[in-house]
Amino acid sequence: MMVKILANDGISKSGQAALEAAGYEVDTTTVAQERLAEHINENKVDVLLVRSATKVRKDLIDATKGNLKFIGRGGVGMDNIDVEYAREQGMIVQNTPAASTRSVAELVFAHLSGMVRFLFDSNQQMPLEGETQFKALKKNYSAGTELMGKTIGIIGFGRIGQEVAKIAFGYGMKVMAVDPYVEEAEVKLSFFDGQSVSFKVKPQSMDEVLANSDFISVHIAGAQKALIGKEEIEKMKDNAGIVNTARGGVIDEVALMEALDSGKLKYAGLDVFENEPTPAMKVLMSPYTSLSPHIGAATLEAQDRIGTEMADHIIEAAKGW
């Protein structure tokens, strides 16, 4: 059968090529949310591909269930899709959890590496005062630290958490982890020449990890309440740093800002925020935060993998239609 696909939030060229090679029709038109159901029904669309911009809620599912068979979310989170309801209506809902693993893990260390050498502040101050206050700035940023020999606590030791551990081992760091669903994990660090070395990581209690880590990196899905709040921050080492590339709201931003302002914590790297796409101004203006606008999965390589991984899912699912 001819499979019609609407990639409403786009798809990589490699993913599109794979689908078209299978004989499918791929439409990359971006249809406005309010016209989406009408467009799907008029064009008899079988597959709707989205990222984070398009919402697939109950009303859209109800309006299109005569045509729509497959909803694909490029990336990991599916907060913008009523997943269980769609599946109850017989639709397949699929994401691409593996595609952006490395991208997110590398962003963690982009923040960490910049934080320990104050690059987040230096990059702002050098254009303003570098010409006239070079020596003063040099003195301000002379108390940087190295990552080698430090301990990183990884909260959530799934696919991304373990990828973070690989990079940490490469830096010469000690790795601690928290994950109630992982008894022990073998983390294999592969090198360019085919050699590899494996490390076994046995997750420990949250209290142990908070108390002994120089840096905390969070890798869990959204929770009903903040996982890291005032109580958890108090258990952390003085002058520790924290990075969140997981979900906004996992860290209590009010408690985090208080800890940074008081000197309890030294810095924080944030790629996700409680109030996206309008983060709190106090967070944005803090002199202790390294910030990025939710770009964890936004690398060219990840986008390419997302497209091809999703194409594989669609081609496999279409065998049963």
Cite the active site residues: 247, 276, 294
- Report d(CA 321, CA 318) in Å as an integer: 5
- Report d(CA 240, CA 286) in Å as an integer: 16
Residue carrying structure tokens 């109580």: 231
> Which amino acid does the sequence have at 132?
T
Grouping H, G, I as helix, E, B as strand and the rest as coil, residue 76 is coil
CB-side neighbour CA atoms (13 Å) of 266: 18
Count the neighbouring beta carbons within 10 Å of the beta carbon of residue 200.
8
- CB contact at 8 A, 296 and 270: no
- Report d(CA 252, CA 283) in Å as an integer: 11
- Report d(CA 111, CA 205) in Å as an integer: 25
Peptide bond into 97 cis (omega under 30): no
**Hey, which residues does 49 pair with through a beta bridge?**
7, 72
Burial label, 254 (beta-carbon count in 10 A; 0-12, 13-18, 19+)? middle
- Report d(CA 133, CA 5) in Å as an integer: 57
HEC readout, 245-270? CCCCCCECHHHHHHHHHHCCEEEEEE
- The DSSP-derived string for 232-249 is HHHHSPTTEEEEE-S-TT
